[in-house]
Chain A
Amino acid sequence: MTETPLQGGPDATYFRYLEAGDWRIQKCTGCGTHVFQPRVMCPACAGDAFDWVAPSGGGTVYSTTIIRRRPERGGDYNVALIDLAEGVRMMSRVEGLAPDMVAIGLPVTARLVDDDGAKIVVFDPTGETS
């Protein structure tokens, strides 16, 4: 699964996969560490070779907040930090659940959605994924 980007660095590669509906993150071929956000150099071993692997999609809410917003502007929404099963953390939103029901420790599953013209990764409570 090691692929040479058509052009550009790991950031461009990440978003090229994502836009194709194929979410992938880096895995260091030297030490096996999953790496996110994308890097040219592994933070664990300084290696520079990576496979681009599809995450399992499973994760856990590490922390969460309700961003309070007036109803006429769209109402409250959630922002959360998700620990992926692969051992990396990312910012995202938990959807398919009221913001005040999103709790630390909640098992969640990834889903790609269109957001303002681009694909992004959001999460649903595991077992309730559409």
Chain B
Amino acid sequence: MSGTWELRGKTAIVGAATAHLGEAPGYSHLEIMADAARGALTDAGLTLADVDGLFAVSMHSVFPVLSFGEYLGIQPKVSDGTIVGGSSAVYQMLHAALALHHGLCDVALIVYGSNQRTASGKLHSPSGAENLPYEKPYGLRAPIAGYAMAAARHMHEYGTTREQLAEVAVAARMWAAMNEEAFDRAPLTVEDVLGARMVCDPLSVRDCCLVTDGGGAIVMTRADRAKDLAKPPVHLLSCAGGQTHRQISMMPDLTTTSAAECGPRAFAMAGLKPADVDVAQVYDAFTINAVILLEDLGFCPKGEGGRFVGDGRLRPGGGLPLNTYGGGLSCTHPGMLGIFTTIEAVRQLRGECGPRQVADAEIALAHGNGGMFAHESTALLGSGAAL
């Protein structure tokens, strides 16, 4: 495997868990995060005392890793609260792998959680107080309006249709119907999506993610230790991220994200190509995300994303199993989705997914997206067969 990442397969995810998906009235974000952390450690057969690397973000705290370490009562040697929006948890796997590989820590815990549905009902964050004087006067409804303008531009340049966008939501709902954890499992048709209340044209409310509570956590160790733990290790084959902007008006090209750079880089690090991916978890905060990101990640040429998803390919049995947990559109979306794309990738590679299990899944892609296409991160994960 010459030319691939030196750390390919050297670290692994050994525990993964969700907590309080859906509605958790009366729970704080720290309680949700801690329950996710406990679940992931139990899954791995480890305890809190083993954790010496803590990676935590939230949308409710200015110092998330400090708040969460204090809450857990641990004093980790490695602390990382890198906030690049919903991309954070996927991107933090890169930091965790480096820290583990170099012996800075032995057990890394990556956690996200939010009570945004029952506490506020809105996507909010401490950064919401950030002064953005060149955009604020115009009443941008963020993040929906930013993605709406990306969708409008993609339709203008490439002829993408609302029906094609709707197919992303319809496929996600079909997968959600097979997931007990999913928040919305009711049948959904393309016509339902098109006829739903418009929020920011061309996106209707059914092109938009859920607003839920929930948390997720994963535990990582070096591969040598991982093989002796409770569950089969899921190896980190690569991880790469990139950023292009903070404000949507500063995005260089609304139809191309930094995933066009970090996605191919992640594939090269892993020595893989898109056709090798058995199951893909690609951040679907809005239907347009999946269309543009599948192009940027190399699953289809730029501009072909609408036609690529429009033929039912993403539906169960359709050829490219995407967001098999139901995604942000139908399973859960507590503000940042990256940890959940990763957890579903782990579950698929372990063969734990019951009726929605993708047969013989050995290579999975987990992709995070932050801000309004501002930060992208791509990880390739593999079962033992992928090494």
Contact = CB atoms under 8 A, between A and B. Distances in A.
A34 to B, nearest CB: 14
B134 A66 contact: no
Nearest to A100: B201
Contact of B149 (A37, A64, A118, A120): A64
B200 A77 contact: no
B201 to A, nearest CB: 4
A65 B153 contact: no
Interface in A39-92: 62-68, 77, 79-81, 89-92
Interface in B250-277: 250, 254
Interface in B122-155: 133-135, 137-141, 145, 148-150, 152-153
Contacts of B150: 63
A100 B201 CA distance: 9
Interface size classification for chain B: 20 to 34
A63 B140 contact: no
A65 B199 CA distance: 10
Given A62-B254, A81-B248, A91 B138 contact: yes
A128 to B, nearest CB: 20
A63 B152 contact: yes
A3 interface: no
A22 interface: no
A65 B137 contact: no
A93 interface: yes
B198 A68 contact: yes
A104 B145 contact: no
A68 B140 CA distance: 11
Interface size classification for chain A: 20 to 34
B249 A67 contact: no
A8 to B, nearest CB: 13
A68 B141 CA distance: 10
Contacts of A67: 139-141, 145, 200
A66 B254 contact: no
B156 interface: yes
B137 A64 contact: no
A53 B331 CA distance: 51
Contact of B200 (A66, A91, A105): A66
B77 interface: no
A64 B134 contact: no
A91 B152 contact: no
A17 interface: no
Contacts of A115: 137
A105 B152 CA distance: 12
A62 B153 contact: yes
A80 to B, nearest CB: 8
A66 B152 CA distance: 11
A10 B140 CA distance: 24
B375 to A, nearest CB: 19
Interface string B146-179: 0011101100100000000000000000000000
Contact of A68 (B133, B152, B201, B247): B201
Contacts of B248: 81, 91
Contacts of B250: 37, 89
B152 A64 contact: yes
Contacts of B137: 115-116, 118, 120
Nearest to B150: A63
B197 interface: yes
Given A63-B149, A104-B152, A92 B254 contact: no
Interface in A1-28: 11, 15
Given A65-B148, A66-B200, 13 more contacts: A62-B254, A63-B149, A63-B150, A63-B153, A63-B156, A65-B200, A65-B201, A65-B202, A81-B149, A89-B250, A91-B138, A91-B248, A93-B138
Q: 10 closest A-B pairs (Cβ-Cβ)? A: A63-B149, A65-B148, A91-B249, A66-B201, A63-B153, A104-B156, A120-B137, A65-B200, A91-B135, A37-B134
Interface of A: 11, 15, 37, 62-68, 77, 79-81, 89-93, 100, 104-105, 115-116, 118, 120
27 contacts: A15-B133, A62-B153, A62-B254, A63-B149, A63-B254, A64-B152, A65-B148, A65-B152, A66-B198, A66-B200, A67-B139, A67-B200, A68-B199, A79-B140, A79-B149, A80-B149, A81-B254, A89-B250, A90-B134, A91-B135, A91-B248, A104-B152, A104-B153, A104-B156, A105-B156, A118-B137, A120-B138
